[in-house]
Structure 1
Amino acid sequence: MSSIRPWRTIDRRLSRQIMVGNVPVGGDAPVTVQTMTNTPTADANATISQIRRCEEAGADIIRVSCPDVESTTALREIVRAANVPIVADIHFHYKRALEAADAGAACLRINPGNIGSADRVREVVTAAKANGCAIRIGVNAGSLEKDLLEKYGEPCPEALVESALDHIRILEDHDFRNYKVAVKASDVFLAVAAYQALAEAVDCPLHLGITEAGGLLGGTVKSSIGIGSLLWFGIGDTIRVSLSAEPEEEVRVGFEILKSLGIRNRGVRVVSCPSCARQGFDVIRTVEALESRLQHIRTPMSLSVLGCVVNGPGEARETDIGITGGGNGKHMVYLSGVTDHHVQDADMIDHIVRLVEAKAAEIEAANASAASVAA
């Protein structure tokens, strides 16, 4: 509700824009959120089902692994069923890249220096051009080229950047510029330093990630620190949070990172207290229930859930809807920062859900009206 302060602004690195299917990446396009399926790609039905869940969570781009011909055969059906661009993940097998491009992949994740002879690289680039595919160069600290490891002794920012520049040079030599680059590492310091150096060396879009970040809790923390730091520096055009969790959770965490920095908003941003003995209701259980029941809301809006009146009124003034704990199971509801009415314990969660849904509908109607007038 409040206007943007100067100390909240992020000066975004200016990159050139590419297209991944119908989704722009880089330039002034919104930072996109990606994830990757973990079903056997050859099982098209299972993969499509997982893609649907990721789409519902808000994924802009989804990657699928294509390790064999059965996977690239199924890819054609998967691409037709998906509502978002599909990236084919290719390692070493250049024929899989050719098959994926022909099957309709919007992007190939492949390192051109790893697929063999110049003729093979030429074939892949030709197929990408012919099918309108982008290419993502994916440098990873865990799979650096042997000569770079020998040169530097260990994975380091200089080695990751040199690997990326080597792969970029191959594409540029084939007059191909519809590419983006990642230099991932599981070490936050290494990844951030590599991305910072690469951002100064190239103008292409950068795909951010802390690879092998861990489980839902630990991986969220590591990814938030690494990806969040880079985005705060203005670096990054598309992100993937790599978690040992279901891919839709990666999408949700990705949007939470973007929301926290005010870069992109989707759904309800919850402001809630950690709770204490002053709480007038069970804040932890209430927030858990609300986050679960409000996942279907896509409209950007804010909700504060505070257990008592110490910080509650102040936080509620800054959110679209707010609730603060009161005595005798009776709690104050705020609408647009203003005290409005009370609600009882038993009705509180259902009541807040209805208020959020109504507010979302109101915002969407206003947006539609404004768009109609502008047209």
Structure 2
Amino acid sequence: MKKSVRCGDVIIGGGTPISIQSMTNVDTRDVKKVTDQIKALEEAGCDIVRLAIPDMEAAEALLQIKKNIKIPLVADIHFDYRLAIAAIKNGADKVRINPGNIGNEERVKAVVEAAKERKIPIRVGVNSGSLEKDILQKNGGVTAEGLTESALRHVAMLEQMDFDDIVISLKSSDVRLNYEAHKLISEQTDHPLHIGITESGTVNSGKLKSAIGIGGLLLAGIGDTMRVSLTGDPVKEVYFARDILKSIGIRPSGINLVSCPTCGRTRVDLEKIALQVEEAIGKIGAKREARGLPPITVAVMGCAVNGPGEAREADFGVAGGDGRGILFAKGEIIKTVSEDKIVEELVKLIEMADKK
């Protein structure tokens, strides 16, 4: 079993549930804007949030940001060790550094001492684009062995400084390379692993690479905390991370959406309806998970052939007709509504049931 570390009120490793992380993409110095985005991430079900700290003003902004959010905050630091120390003093629950670009060991030690004093963990982050020259030369380029060696080299440095609250992250945008590196390091360390596919792409292309890359690791029993990295709204990263965990049964709570592929019998705009339902129930699912409620299934079906049966088997569902939909709850027909009211009325049914 992996060691565990505490990041705010979230435990990473030690057999605890896999936590979901994301990262803000607005200016950290804009306290209101970044706070609003973190609150949206909280609502989506994010467990831990990371912020870029490019300068001292951003590090000092953490003090105000922390007052307005609930989830733990990770400071992402590159190059300047003084920013890491300032971020820690201003309330960071964890810092992410690449010891290789922080500078000499004395600077790394200064960060370690600050983390020790505040009793917070350090995430050692290594990416395929940031490997040391000697490792690149030794392996003839970026390899799984090189990523593993780099990460363990930095971990050893921290351990020699009598620091053990470490989370390891080694990421590549190459799915196979990423998998092989994680397999290697998981066999050589007991420190918790932060997994993901770095620079995976847009919401469309990145979801595919992330599903394969992260899903493969999770099925192999690798990973203690995770982030889906997508170019776009970070809230979508959280929704998709939850989908990955639900799909392989690791985090079964929330809402499972079932929708048919449509055919020539469909007489409603089922694609539009299904997408709108998916977005709406994402927020409801996050609230259900936070309350520890059991999972439910919502079916969005397109016609009268299989639609009523599938919708009736789900906890809640709709079977499309000619410009209308029949709503079901727990196997019972509730009412028929016009196409433009399907999403609104279906969501109402779910929310009303959750209040009981």
TM-score by length of structure 2 reads 0.91
Percentage of identical aligned residues: 44
Kindly indicate whether residue 322 of structure 2 is the aligned counterpart of residue 335 of structure 1: no
Cα displacement (A) at 1:79: 2.0
1:96-175 alignment to 2 at 5 Å? Answer: 96-175=83-162
Q: Distance in 1 between matches of 2:304 and 2:188?
A: 51
Query: Deviation digits for residues 174-193 of structure 1, max 9, x if unmatched?
Result: 12111111110011111111
Cα displacement (A) at 1:279: 2.2
Contact 1:321 / 1:356 at 8 angstroms: preserved in 2? Answer: yes
Q: Comparing 263-272 with 282-291, which one deviates more in the overlay?
A: 263-272
Which letter maps to 1:296? K
Q: Distance in 1 between matches of 2:204 and 2:230?
A: 9
Q: Distance in 2 between matches of 1:45 and 1:351?
A: 34
Q: Distance in 2 between matches of 1:308 and 1:78?
A: 49
Q: Distance in 1 between matches of 2:257 and 2:228?
A: 20
Cα displacement (A) at 1:80: 2.3
Q: Comparing 216-225 with 278-287, which one deviates more in the overlay?
A: 278-287
Contact 1:113 / 1:170 at 8 angstroms: preserved in 2? Answer: no
The residue that corresponds to 1:350 in the other structure is 344
Which letter maps to 2:130? S
Cα displacement (A) at 1:271: 0.9
Which letter maps to 1:164? A
Tell me: CA distance 1:47–1:331, structure 2 relative to 1, closer, same or farther (3 Å). closer
Q: Comparing 157-166 with 280-289, which one deviates more in the overlay?
A: 280-289
Contact 2:131 / 2:150 at 8 angstroms: preserved in 1? Answer: yes
1:47-66 alignment to 2 at 5 Å? Answer: 47-66=34-53
TM-score by length of structure 1 reads 0.87
SS at match of 1:270: strand
The residue that corresponds to 1:44 in the other structure is 31
Contact 1:192 / 1:230 at 8 angstroms: preserved in 2? Answer: yes
Kindly indicate whether residue 75 of structure 2 is the aligned counterpart of residue 82 of structure 1: no
Cα displacement (A) at 1:349: 2.6
Which letter maps to 1:54? L
The residue that corresponds to 2:215 in the other structure is 228
Cα displacement (A) at 1:50: 1.6
Contact 2:100 / 2:132 at 8 angstroms: preserved in 1? Answer: no
Kindly indicate whether residue 315 of structure 2 is the aligned counterpart of residue 320 of structure 1: yes
Q: Which runs of 5+ in 1 are unaligned?
A: 1-13, 363-375
Q: Distance in 2 between matches of 1:315 and 1:238?
A: 35
Q: Which runs of 5+ in 2 are unaligned?
A: 289-294
How many residues were matched structurally? 347
Q: Distance in 1 between matches of 2:307 and 2:218?
A: 30
Tell me: CA distance 1:186–1:21, structure 2 relative to 1, closer, same or farther (3 Å). same
Cα displacement (A) at 1:343: 1.7
